[in-house]
Copies of this chain bind each other. A is one copy, B any other.
Amino acid sequence: MEQRLAPNTKLSEARLCETFGVGRMRVRRALLLLSSQGLIELQSNRGAYVACPDESEANDVFAARMLIEPPLVRQLAQSSGDIDLTVLIDHIALEDAAREKNERTEIIRLSGEFHTKLAQATSNKFIFRMMRELVTRTSLIVGLFGSSENASCPDDEHSNILKAIQSKNAELAEQLLISHLNHIQNGLDMETRKEPQDDLATILGSN
């Protein structure tokens, strides 16, 4: 989610065990769950590798988000008022603060989390789960194909979407979200994919 692990990075069980100080069983359970979400790939007898989506998968993710998120935001705007939006308001503040301080990983994480929290605002468990999966996947894709500068969402688009929702302007909110998604997708460069570094999982050690 924070793009600290490059795609194709090998996640060795032994390494993860000592990194997190856990038994092999825990690690294997976690890897199995991650693979069921498509975040890593489990190769039989070969180990776990961070998923490395190709162009076609990237298109699928954005197609899925284009299918779900616009109606979602539209619905949010319509039923705004019955819903608690303070979580989203607070979130925008967090994003601004992180941008202020130029905290890269934090910005990336919050940028994705905004969309997750949009789904959470529907207080629908299933919609939330689906969006979370699509958002984390998007993180991987942006990490792979994204130009370095716009690794996150454009600055004030989140804020504008939220304002449209608050003013119950469903049409505008939906339109803003569509352009927002388009901006992200258009910011990708499908040609020059970054070389998947076979970095050790020691990156995680900084926790």
Q: How large is the interface on A (under 10, 10 to 19, 20 to 34, 35 or more residues)?
A: 20 to 34
- Complex CA distance for A60 and B127, rounded to whole angstroms: 8
Residues in A43-89 with C-beta less than 8 Å from chain B: 57, 60-61, 63-64, 67-68, 70-72, 75
Contacting pair A126 B64 (CB below 8 A): yes
> Quick check: is A125 within 8 A (CB to CB) of the other chain?
yes
User: Which residue of the partner chain B has the closest CB to A29?
Assistant: B32
Q: Count this chain's copies in the assembly.
A: 2
The residue on B at minimum CB distance from A71 is: B67
Question: What are 25 A-B contacts with C-beta separation under 8 Å?
Answer: A32-B32, A32-B33, A36-B36, A57-B125, A60-B124, A60-B125, A60-B126, A61-B126, A63-B122, A63-B127, A64-B124, A64-B126, A64-B127, A67-B68, A67-B71, A67-B72, A67-B75, A67-B127, A68-B68, A70-B71, A71-B71, A126-B133, A126-B134, A126-B137, A130-B130
Which A residues are within 8 Å of any B CB, using their own CB? Answer: 29, 32-33, 36-37, 57, 60-61, 63-64, 67-68, 70-72, 75, 122, 124-127, 130, 133-134, 137
